[in-house]
Chains A and B, each alone.
Chain A
Amino acid sequence: MILNMDGTKPIYLQISEWLEREILNGNFESDQKIYSQYQLAEMFTINPATAAKGLTLLVEENILYKKRGLGMFVSNHAKQIILNKRKNQTLKKLVLEIVMEAERLNVSREELIQMIQAVNVEEAGE
């Protein structure tokens, strides 16, 4: 329920990311109705228009669909779309950052790959 209110990331993005996480976690099934802008506004103490913008973003990405007068629902391939998006956008960006930082530190590609392989996900947890 807690957004990262550090004042730098737009809230509507945080809202859409939070909703994506809810869908990935299985809290919402396909064709299930998702929170309205007012519910979200209430939950996070944010302006309803901001919440609406977060929802609209997900509609544009086909993660949600609109039923006129009824609200917004999770689309069939929502999970897949989110996973693809995260892989192609978020993860790629992170990789780029890592590679650039490695170059700055004169870390070779091989060394970097070794470092990645050495990371124990189980231990780090999420």
Chain B
Amino acid sequence: MNIIECSSLTKVYGAVKALNNLSFELQENKITGLIGRNGAGKTTLLKIIAGYYRETLGEIKVFSEKPFNNLLVSANVMYINDQMNFPTALNLKEILNVSSTFYENWNHELADRLFDYFAFQQTQQYNNLSKGMKSTFNMIVGLSARCALTVFDEPTTGMDAGVRKDFYRALLKDYIDFPRTILLSSHHLDEIEDILEDVLLIKDGTKLLHIPVEELKEWAIGVQGSSAAVNDWIKNREVIHSKNVGLDRMYAVVKQNGSESEIQRAKEAGLAITPISSSDVCVYLTSKNKGGIDDVFIKD
């Protein structure tokens, strides 16, 4: 069962294409990480999914329905970002009480326990909270609503390392208790990859990869050695990053093709093979050019 189906989705703001022919499907009860750099179109995509924005071209279905202006989608999608708006007249406890009247699956016990654990005061005002505390409170609302599709858009903005860890663990535990489809956007893949099942990597509004996170870890390998040997070995392979190291040495990252014999050949040629972490794969794939920031400093 697909929770989200989107095909050739395009969103245009003036002359900018925030989403460009994006197609993917999201299966039920998976935790998926939406990864991309700033401006890749993550928030635009998520807001279209939540029914806030209208697509320009293409098709999007959430629970098999068009999300824009859709009550079914609104009732079953929780969208949390760092710019949540809550009425200034309500204190934190009242906001939780109002939330409970809206969402059918709302778990008030969970909300209360989290509220106490993170040491919130009933009468505190949302607008007086620090950025990290706001994010923490949003998280409580997002988790307790237990919506069939829960979307966290950069949920950890401003949270300190301890709270971030707590958040990921709370998310995972509640997911185990109450499985649902979760979409988590972030530009720190290394922080969230352990709790993810799939990764959807986008760049300039287009999909680069949509694979299980475990495959992403083995997606690429790094080779280092003399420039001649490296250049020889990476011939006919997909190079996603390369860099000169020292005088006559070179480091290159190539897509893994699963051939043990080639790895063996590389080792025999004196090349050092290193694994590439999934977050590095994402950085290399989404960078504008193969040399990264170093290209800026190249002097002729």
Contact = CB atoms under 8 A, between A and B. Distances in A.
Interface of A: 5-12, 38, 41-42, 44-50, 53, 100, 104
A112 B299 CA distance: 47
A6 B270 CA distance: 25
A40 to B, nearest CB: 11
Interface string B186-212: 000010011111000000000000001
A47 B275 contact: no
Interface residues of B, number: 27
B214 A50 contact: yes
Contacts of B275: 8-9
Interface of B: 30-31, 168-169, 172-173, 176, 190, 193-197, 212-214, 217-218, 267-268, 270, 274-279
Contacts of A12: 214
B171 to A, nearest CB: 10
B217 A41 contact: no
Contacts, number: 56
Given A7-B278, A8-B275, A47 B194 contact: yes
A104 B270 CA distance: 9
Contact of A49 (B30, B217, B277, B278): B30
B195 A53 contact: no
Nearest to B31: A47
B217 A10 contact: yes
Rank and list the top 5 A-B pairs by shortest CB-CB distance, nearest first: A7-B277, A8-B275, A49-B197, A47-B197, A46-B194
B173 A47 contact: no
A123 B193 CA distance: 38
A41 B214 contact: no
B194 A11 contact: yes
A49 to B, nearest CB: 4
Nearest to B212: A49
Contacts of B196: 47
B213 A8 contact: no
B1 to A, nearest CB: 16
A41 B214 CA distance: 15
